[in-house]
Structure 1
Amino acid sequence: MTDVSIVSEFDGNGMIVERTKVKTLGSGSFGQVHLAKLPNLISGDYFFAAVKSCAYSCSDSIQKELYVLRQFQDSDKIIKCFGDVVSFEEEVTVYNLFLEYASGGTLRDLIRRYGGSIPEPVVKCYTKMLLEGLRCIHSEGYVHCDLKPENILVFPGCDSNETLKIADFGLVRRANENHAVEGGPKELKFPGTPLYMPPETIVKRHISPALDIWSLGCVVLQMITGKLPWDGMKDKMELAIKILFSRNPPNKISKPLSDQGKDFLIKCFARKSDERWTADMLLSHPFVTATQEKSDDCLPSMEEFEACLCDMSILVE
């Protein structure tokens, strides 16, 4: 969707800056994200950024995101934030947060480009990247609370290999913080996206880093199977029962998975949160360490993967 327009606004020094809206990237309950072309006031060149915008009166969660992201500017596995600005558009006061633009889209898009199932050697590399991001988040006393493929962005990396970065910190909480639980079973309230939530979020109010580890397990399964966790649930109540009482992981794996991969998922899906491995512990698990000595060998670029698929189709014909 193309929606080119010019927005004039004041930067932190009181100077007027023109921002060109190039296209809409997405929207949600918070507002809208668009691709913008911005002037670099130091070099005089232009650069692209993703701008998350909403009415200033509803911008509390986005402003919190700015505060949190500023603490992770040195991490290459967490999305970068360039600052914020207030603009006036069509007589509405708008809050804008400037973020790194991910030209590769989201992890969900990447799963689709791989045909619905990412090869296990590549999953290992992506999982290591996500663990490094989570370790950084948890070390600062935060819990992301909404780790899912849509909130993981894909960036071109060195040698054309993709790099994953964790994004969307609108639901981030402090470790040991409580989340609100409504009165009756029909009013179940999860701290994040229900499909990716662990058992303790249903029966307890306690937020801990173990929540993100369960969500990570769901993301790893989704990379392998291409399916949403607990796919096919009719409502939150049915989902809650499944999460609480099922002895199986959220997805059945219909393809071979290494013993290391199975053990890694067992560590992520421990039903008791205090038995779940931490991000630091999982970074030493053989699933992510066995092939990491030379990352170029374990992580083909999308171009290489698509070329391989093309070669295979020629052979079939």
Structure 2
Amino acid sequence: MTDISMVAKLDGNGIVVESTKVKTLGSVSSRQVHLAKLPTLVGDHLLAAVKSCAYSHFSSIQKELHILRQFQDSDRIVKCLGDVASLKTEVTIYNLFLEYAFGGTLRDLIERYGGSILEPAVKCYTKMLLEGLRCIHGQGYVHYDLKPKNILVFPGCGSDVILKITNFGLVRQADENHAIKGGPKKLKFSGTPLYMQLETIVKHQISHALDIWSLGCIVLEMITGKQPCEGMEGKMALAIKILFSTSPPNQIPKTFSDQGKDLLMKCFARELVKGGPLICR
């Protein structure tokens, strides 16, 4: 493993420090994500996840920075540690520093549970996600790509864990016009189709209902271990399934509590109240 030094500027005090790349975590489109060590004032090191891209493609990451700064006080949204531009082989690179999730993603957590999570834990995790969505919707945003891989797992007290929502590069304003070139025959998705309410996309209008549908898919996946509409092949088959079926994306287990079933049916309701933030009771 080769360490690569780069410059990092942390928010709050504007101090410029040296950070060290530890390993690559993955890549999405034109962006790379890696793990880095940042020195602290007490002589220790802080691990951070760093999103990097060529400066010519930095608009989506800078958008994420702007949004994350609005949620610095929320315990349900991943925290931003700062941003900086660096020079690598004569190419300017833009870097966004985020707190590192030692527990991986919610998808990893489901697998550690053996493929499905017991309902008491699902109830606790769902409450955390609702609290996160309440913050996001309260600012007039729609996350637009809520799924287990965009939910990070942090250590809590004892054996408990804390879930935080991440990846805000596709965030939209609620009620934003989302016209699709070519009309409804050409369905195009910026998010992840498996977790999206296609009705919202077909109507060319972004609403909070899209995130609520995604939440229902995530709850169902935590309980069953299966992705929504598992076994469906192709976007058109998936679109037909979600648009014209009156049943949830996957079968709700009979052993699921009445309260849990009621929550899921509300998430998958065809007509939700438009406007206003999600209220978590």
TM normalised by structure 1 equals 0.83
Question: Which residue in 2 is equivalent to 1:29?
Answer: 29
| Aligned mates of 1:15, 1:83 — CA distance in 2 | 10
1:162-201 pair list within 5 angstroms:
162-184=161-183, 187-201=186-200
1:25-64 pair list within 5 angstroms:
25-40=25-40, 42-64=41-63
Question: Which residue in 1 is equivalent to 2:240?
Answer: 241
The answer to whether the 8 A contact 1:103-1:155 is kept is yes
The residue identity in structure 2 corresponding to 1:187 is: K
Question: Which residue in 2 is equivalent to 1:19?
Answer: 19
- Range 267-276 or range 247-256, more displaced: 267-276
Identity of aligned residues (%): 69
The answer to whether the 8 A contact 1:8-1:16 is kept is no
| Aligned mates of 1:256, 1:270 — CA distance in 2 | 21
The answer to whether the 8 A contact 1:7-1:19 is kept is yes
The answer to whether the 8 A contact 1:4-1:20 is kept is no
Question: Which residue in 1 is equivalent to 2:103?
Answer: 104
| Aligned mates of 1:46, 1:181 — CA distance in 2 | 46
Instruction: Give the 4+ runs in structure 1 shifted more than 4 A.
Output: 12-16, 275-278
Are the structure 2 counterparts of residues 191 and 178 from structure 1 closer, same or farther at C-alpha, using a change threshold of 3 Å?
Answer: farther
Residue 46 of structure 1 deviates from its aligned partner by 1.8
1:99 aligned counterpart, secondary structure: strand
The residue identity in structure 1 corresponding to 2:80 is: C
Are the structure 2 counterparts of residues 14 and 269 from structure 1 closer, same or farther at C-alpha, using a change threshold of 3 Å?
Answer: closer
1:72-221 pair list within 5 angstroms:
72-184=71-183, 187-221=186-220
1:53 aligned counterpart, secondary structure: strand
How many residue pairs get aligned? The number is: 279
Q: Which digits, 9 at most, give the CA deviation of each residue in 1:267-312, with x for residues without a partner?
A: 10111232799631xx33xxxxxxxxxxxxxxxxxxxxxxxxxxxx
Residue 32 of structure 1 deviates from its aligned partner by 1.1
The residue identity in structure 1 corresponding to 2:4 is: I
Q: Which digits, 9 at most, give the CA deviation of each residue in 1:148-194, with x for residues without a partner?
A: 00000000012231000000000001111122413155531134211
The answer to whether the 8 A contact 1:118-1:223 is kept is yes
Are the structure 2 counterparts of residues 107 and 200 from structure 1 closer, same or farther at C-alpha, using a change threshold of 3 Å?
Answer: same
| Aligned mates of 2:170, 2:124 — CA distance in 1 | 26
Instruction: Answer 1 or 2: which has greater helix percent.
Output: 1
The residue identity in structure 1 corresponding to 2:215 is: L
| Aligned mates of 1:57, 1:268 — CA distance in 2 | 39
User: Which entry has the higher C-alpha Rg, 1 or 2?
Assistant: 1
The answer to whether the 8 A contact 2:208-2:274 is kept is no
| Aligned mates of 2:253, 2:86 — CA distance in 1 | 50
1:7 aligned counterpart, secondary structure: strand
| Aligned mates of 1:56, 1:198 — CA distance in 2 | 33
| Aligned mates of 1:112, 1:43 — CA distance in 2 | 36
Question: Which residue in 2 is equivalent to 1:4?
Answer: 2
RMSD: 2.1
Are the structure 2 counterparts of residues 262 and 275 from structure 1 closer, same or farther at C-alpha, using a change threshold of 3 Å?
Answer: farther
Are the structure 2 counterparts of residues 174 and 156 from structure 1 closer, same or farther at C-alpha, using a change threshold of 3 Å?
Answer: same
Residue 65 of structure 1 deviates from its aligned partner by 0.2
The answer to whether the 8 A contact 1:190-1:201 is kept is no
